[in-house]
Amino acid sequence: MRSVLPLIIGVSFLSGCEQGPTIATMCAADPQICLDIHDDNWCRKERKALLLHNYNVKQTNDDADKYKELLAYEDYIGCMSLASQIEHIKLKEKKTNRVNSLLNAERRFEQLAQNTKTSDNPYLLYFHWSRFLDEDAMNKFTAMEGSAALETPELQQFLASYYIKRDPDKTLGILFHSLELTPSGAQLNHEVFESIANIFNDKDEHKQTYIWLKVLQLYKPDDQHLNQALIAMYVEKHGLDINFLDTVATVTLKNIEEGKFKAPQY
């Protein structure tokens, strides 16, 4: 696929941790995780998120919470992988504690992943395919296509990431539907705009490509991959009259942000 911008769809989010149980409460509910995952000046935000989602799983045993805990483990492991490489001249035990925390987190992550392998939760099905290439999980996930089980913006974006190299036209429809499902005031995934622009670029539909590049620029003006010079080059190359297209892009983004977007005919 030709690309005017990097194409990545992989939505990862964690619930906010500003409110909720205290560290003491979470450690009391599962003392072992607080022994395994040491407190440290580094990765405190990631550790707190991990403890929160582990606590929630202990309370609910819900697959949706287990999915969030897996994501929290990934964030913590990514952070601690860097922190564990830092050498302390006077405090060698800090490095040892970080390495141990990292190894324990990786072990607990693998155990949780194994324990959720047979889940039919759509988030976990996609997780097991995207991380471990579990084709059985993806077959179950795609079997839910068209059902209420996948009727969220994020799950539609997961579905699009599966079809992006298999059926670009179908992917376009799925991405549009994800925007239709987006409620007013929701945080948007700018990668959806990038992907739509890339698909239209592959189809040599230059006006549509420009519209979605402009939507992206309006939504994320500080994006380093997209600047006015790049857009100007695209406009000049394809001889576009952008006055009307700019209006379309502005209205399109407004409708998305207000939860009023309707998929265009294409």
Q: Which domains does the chain have, with CATH numbers?
A: 1-143 (no CATH), 148-257 (1.25.40)
**Dihedral sign for Cα atoms in the order 131, 133, 136, 139:** positive
Alpha helices in the chain (DSSP H): 23-29, 31-36, 44-60, 63-83, 92-115, 122-132, 135-143, 153-163, 168-180, 190-202, 206-219, 228-238, 242-257
Q: CB under 8 Å to 208, separation ≥6 — which residues? A: 200, 266
pLDDT at residue 3 in the model: 56
Q: For residues 229 and 208, give the distance between their C-alpha atoms in angstroms, rounded to a whole number.
A: 18
Could you tell me the mean pLDDT of each successive run of 10 residues in the chain, 266 residues long? 50 50 96 94 95 98 98 97 70 76 97 98 99 98 98 98 97 98 97 97 97 96 81 94 96 98 88
pLDDT at residue 223 in the model: 79
pLDDT at residue 1 in the model: 55
pTM: 0.85
**DSSP string covering 56-92:** HHHHH--HHHHHHHHHHHHHHHHHHHHHTT---SS-H
